[in-house]
Amino acid sequence: MANRKSRKMRGSNTYGHGRKGRRGKGRKGGKGLPGIGKHHWSYAIKHPEYLWGNHGFTSHHPKESIEAINVGELNERIDDMLDKKLVLFDGDKYEVDLSILGVNKLLGRGKATKKMIVKVKYASKIAVEKIQEAGGEVINA
């Protein structure tokens, strides 16, 4: 039997296999990131995260999250906290342990009008000054 020439797809450059053309990962320069230093260098310049080597460093310890409260907010809410028995009132001063409230930093925005003894892990200089001006003190716990 004689071979016949196919007349189909004679004007097409894809021959029925779409634009990508019956390929696995060939016809594109390789699978993954091969050629990134050769024929795919322009891609490496546009996406520098794909260049070689390690970048930066990895922290292997968890970072402490800072939960803060301002002096003014503490001054406003101290009576409500006293009702909920989160704060002690010792004659003329309030004793506040901010770690019970889940707060580990005292910041200086606002005014302190009440005498407070505040136990907190971190405190700004301005917050300490405002508490001391009102007749209280800040204890780093």
Residue 116 is predicted with a pLDDT of 93
Domain annotation covers residue 39:
no
Domain annotation covers residue 99:
yes
Helices and strands (H, E) in the chain, number of each type = 3, 7
pLDDT in tens, the chain (141 residues): 666 767 787 888 777 777 777 766 667 788 877 888 888 888 888 887 767 677 778 888 888 899 999 999 999 999 999 999 999 998 899 999 999 999 999 999 999 999 999 999 999 999 999 999 999 999 997
Domain with 130, as residue range(s), is 68-140
Domain annotation covers residue 84:
yes
Residue 2 is predicted with a pLDDT of 64
- For residue 59, the tally of other CB atoms under 10 A from its CB is 7
Total domain count for the chain? 1
Domain annotation covers residue 35:
no
